[in-house]
Amino acid sequence: MVNEAGRSGSPVVVALDYRSSTEALAMASRLDPQQCRVKVGKELFTAEGPLVIDKLQTLGFDVFLDMKYHDIPNTVASAVKVAADMGVWMVNVHAAGGRRMMTACVERLAHYNQRPLLIAVTVLTSMEREDLAEVGLDVDPLVQVQRLAKLTAESGFDGVVCSAHEVVPLRATMPTGFALVTPGIRPISADLGDQRRVMTPKQALQAGSDYLVIGRPITQATDPSAALEAILAELA
C-alpha cells in the first residue's frame, strides 16, 4: 500500500532548506503537522542524516526526502528501501536513471504494507533548451518532461516533480491519480527570490497540482505559521 493519506491532508509541503537540524527543528516546531508536510533536501540530510527525519516524524510531520537519486538500479533501489524503512512519506529519484532503475525501486518495495510515494524528477526546472542540447538532448524541455513522465508512470511510480507550468499538459496526458508535485510556488504578495516561472498556490492547485512545495514564503516570514495559514485560507 502506498503511504498516500499520510498524517496531514494538506497539499502544502514546507521546504526545510537549512544547514542544521537545530534550525530545521526550530522552524518545524513553529508549524502544525496537521496543516503541512515538510521536505528535507540534500543540504540538511547531508549535514544531519537520518536523525533529523526521525525528529521531524516525532513532531508529527510527514517527511518528503528530496534526494533525487540517480545511479545504477540496485544502488537506487537500496537507497529507496532505506528511506522506506525510515518511514518517509515521499522520496524521489531522477527519471533520467531510466525504466530499470525505477522498476527496481518499485520491486524492492513491493512487499511493504505501507511504502513511500515514489516520485521522479523529469527535467530540472533550472534547465533550458540550450542546457539540454549541451548534454546531448536536442529537444524542447516540455517534450522531454512528457517523455520522462510517461516512463515514470509505466515504471510503476506514483508521480513526478514538475514546474507549475507543466501541470496542465501533464494532467492532460498522465493517468488519473498520477501525483504532480510542484515547487516554484509564490503567494500573491511574496518576494520571488530566485524563482522565475512561478504560480500562486491557488493557480497551481486549480491547474491540477497535488502537492505544493513552498520554502521561503513560509520559512522566511516573520510569522511562518500565519504565512502558512494565509496560504491555506487562499486555497479554501
Task: Answer yes or no: are the C-beta atoms of 66 and 181 closer than 8 Å.
Answer: no
Q: How far is the CB of 104 from ligand C5P (least distance, A)?
A: 23
Task: Answer yes or no: are the C-beta atoms of 22 and 46 closer than 8 Å.
Answer: no
Taking the least distance from each CB to ligand C5P, the nearer of 8 and 195 is 195
Task: Answer yes or no: are the C-beta atoms of 213 and 182 closer than 8 Å.
Answer: yes
Q: Which residues bind ligand C5P (CB under 6 A)?
A: 15, 17, 41, 124-125, 161, 183-184, 193, 195, 213-216
In angstroms, rounded to a whole number, what is the distance separating the alpha carbons of residues 185 and 192?
A: 9
Q: 202: Cβ–Cβ under 8 A, 6 or more apart, which residues?
A: 234, 235
Q: How far is the CB of 77 from ligand C5P (least distance, A)?
A: 23
DSSP state, residue 165: G
Taking the least distance from each CB to ligand C5P, the nearer of 116 and 141 is 141
Q: 107: Cβ–Cβ under 8 A, 6 or more apart, which residues?
A: 77
In angstroms, rounded to a whole number, what is the distance separating the alpha carbons of residues 236 and 232?
A: 6
Q: How far is the CB of 140 from ligand C5P (least distance, A)?
A: 17
Residues classed as catalytic: 68
Q: 63: Cβ–Cβ under 8 A, 6 or more apart, which residues?
A: 37, 38, 39, 40, 53, 56, 57, 87, 88, 89, 90
Q: How far is the CB of 24 from ligand C5P (least distance, A)?
A: 12
